[in-house]
Amino acid sequence: MPRIEFEIKLGYEDVLFRPKRSTLASRSDVTLEREIRFRNSGLKYRGVPVMASNMDTTGTFGMAQAFSSHKMFVCIHKHYSVQQWVEFAANNPQSMEHVAVSSGSSSKDLEKLKDIISQVPVNFICLDVANGYSEHFVEFVKKVRESYPDKTIMAGNVVTGEMVEELILAGADLVKVGIGPGSVCTTRKKTGVGYPQLSAVLECADAAHGLGGHIVADGGCTCPGDVAKAFGAGADFVMLGGMFAGHDEGDGEIIEKDGQKFIKFYGMSSATAMEKHSGGVAKYRTSEGKTVLIPYKGSIETTIQDILGGVRSCCTYVGAVKLKELPKRTTFVRTTKQLNEIYGQKSINKTD
């Protein structure tokens, strides 16, 4: 029997932080690094918990090189060859503690994952499927955990607490949270399935932390304030795709149009991605992503500074000395309007 849940669920666009008295004198006093010990692998990680998504124009080795100097994390996309992984690891040992090797849930994916892990010193595995609710995926997580008891496993995507708990009990250390909020994802449009991202993060973080697990808020951020809101809602890591797209380090295709440079950016379930990696869209499915041209942004460094600077500033407004303290200092207020858009997108600075 169909039913309706009448409790309102919220996205990042529906709330703002309520400011609170603070003892911080400067944004530079805020510590963004976190130390996290993972439930199932027992491994400890120390770094800034902002991640680049495992899309093939953001989850690149070039991104990993740039991110490692900031102790930020990159989930490397699954389309690099084993040899490319070996060469990267040999030439960039300092980056290896801040990257994950990604895999789907097919037997072919598993074989490639085993080949990479047997030759490359990587501690994180990202098991990534669009629908983390299938029994097949839960069994796949169990199988990978049995094979690699000492690796930190990230698995998803889901949006509800009970499925977060099931994946953690199956062996995941981190659960990716988000169905359909991404800038080039059309799952909600094509399937009608999804969950507003802020509420998903709040509910899934509560479920994960009750078991000693952790979550990654994956998708839905459009600006540094949204990243701060994800952390305030209880996310342990925040994964970004669109905000990191369009840069040199992403290896995207640069296209010149009317004297301006653009980079092609697309969802990994888009027709563009499936034609590139799978020979086209299979007859039993539809594309669930779109392809866009975004302005070429140059180096990733300016964007990193903008995001981290925004999160630091948020912490000073609510009195969080450390990023870990942000959820404890967070009170969200409902809002019907966030920004004064009188000048629209007319700023002359790229990061405004």
Active site residue 75: no
State the Cα–Cα distance between residues 184 and 320, nearest whole angstrom: 33
Unique residue bearing structure tokens 């529906």:
14
The answer to whether 208 and 160 have CB atoms below 8 angstroms apart is no
Catalytic hit among 57, 187, 303, 316: 187
Catalytic residue (one of 57, 75, 126, 185): 185
- Which residues are CB-contacts of 214 (< 8 A; sequence separation ≥ 6)? 36, 38, 39, 173, 174, 175, 208, 236, 237
Assess whether 185 carries a catalytic annotation: yes
Task: For residue 238, give the nearest of 216, 221, 206 by alpha carbon.
Answer: 216
Q: Which helix H or strand E contains 198, and what residues bound it?
A: helix 197-210
Strands (E), 85-226: 99-103, 124-128, 152-158, 174-177, 214-218
Burial class, 274, CB count within 10 angstroms (exposed 0-12 / middle 13-18 / buried 19+): buried
What DSSP element (H or E) covers 36? strand 34-37
Q: What is the DSSP string of 244-301?
A: GTTBGGGTPPEEEETTEEEEEEE-TTBHHHHHHHSSS--TT----B-EEEEE--B-SH
User: Residue 246: is it exposed, middle or buried by C-beta count within 10 angstroms (0-12/13-18/19+)?
Assistant: buried
User: At a CB cut-off of 8 Å and minimum separation 6, what does 78 contact?
Assistant: 54, 101, 102, 103, 104, 109, 112, 128
Query: How far is the CA of 302 from the CAs of 248, 306, 351, in angstroms?
Result: 12, 6, 8
> Rounded CA gap, 232 and 243, in Å?
19
Neighbours of 257 (CB within 10 A): 8
Active site residues: 185, 187
